[in-house]
């Protein structure tokens, strides 16, 4: 399951002291948790997210970062744009291969 892979990668980043990967995966876990809460509220029962729903969360986060990159580059903040690009790279690893 994708959620377990993310959790295992989070643990690996924590042990390896990979700060950026740790930060991104912590944020991703929080977003998945928020989506589960929203789903629970909507359905009225507890239901974990499917892998497809987790992929939608990841895609949404990538989209947010692409928009941020555009704004940072327009504002002359290359350092922040580069950070967002690194985060997209980490998140993209969880998406299926595109043909």
- Residue 60: CB partners within 8 Å, gap ≥ 6? 31
Cα–Cα nearest to 32, from 10, 15, 16:
10
CA distances (Å), 3 to each of 22, 55, 58, in order?
A: 15, 10, 11
Instruction: Let me know if residue 97 belongs to a domain.
Output: no
- Percent of the chain with pLDDT strictly greater than 90: 85
Q: How many domains does the chain have?
A: 1
Residue 61 lies in a domain: yes
Looking up residue 20, the CATH number of its domain turns out to be 1.10.1510.10
CA–centroid distance for 33 within its chain: 12
> Does residue 98 lie within any of the structural domains?
no
Query: Does some domain include residue 42?
Result: yes
**Cα dist from 39 to 2, 6, 25, 29, 66, whole Å:** 18, 20, 21, 15, 26
Q: pLDDT at position 98, please?
A: 65
Strand (E) or helix (H) holding 82? helix 78-92
Q: Does 24 fall in a domain?
A: yes
Q: Is the pLDDT of residue 91 over 60?
A: yes
Show the domain range for 44. Answer: 2-92
Longest Cα pair distance anywhere in the chain, in angstroms? 47
Residue 99 lies in a domain: no
Is residue 66 one of the residues assigned to a domain?
yes
Q: Does 86 reside within a domain?
A: yes
**Residue 7 structure tokens:** 């959790």
Chain segment 35-69, per-residue pLDDT in tens: 999 998 887 788 889 999 999 999 999 999 999 99
* Average pLDDT of the chain to the nearest whole number: 93
pTM: 0.88
């Amino acid at each position: 399951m994708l959620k377990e892979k993310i959790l295992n990668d989070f643990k690996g980043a924590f042990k390896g002291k990979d700060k950026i990967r740790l930060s991104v995966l912590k944020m991703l876990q929080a977003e998945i948790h928020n989506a589960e809460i929203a789903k629970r509220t909507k359905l009225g029962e507890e239901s974990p997210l499917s892998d497809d729903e987790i992929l939608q969360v990841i895609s949404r986060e990538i989209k947010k970062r692409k928009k941020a990159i555009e704004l940072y580059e327009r504002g002359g903040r290359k350092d922040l744009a580069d950070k967002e690009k690194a985060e997209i790279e980490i998140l993209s690893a969880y998406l299926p291969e595109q043909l």
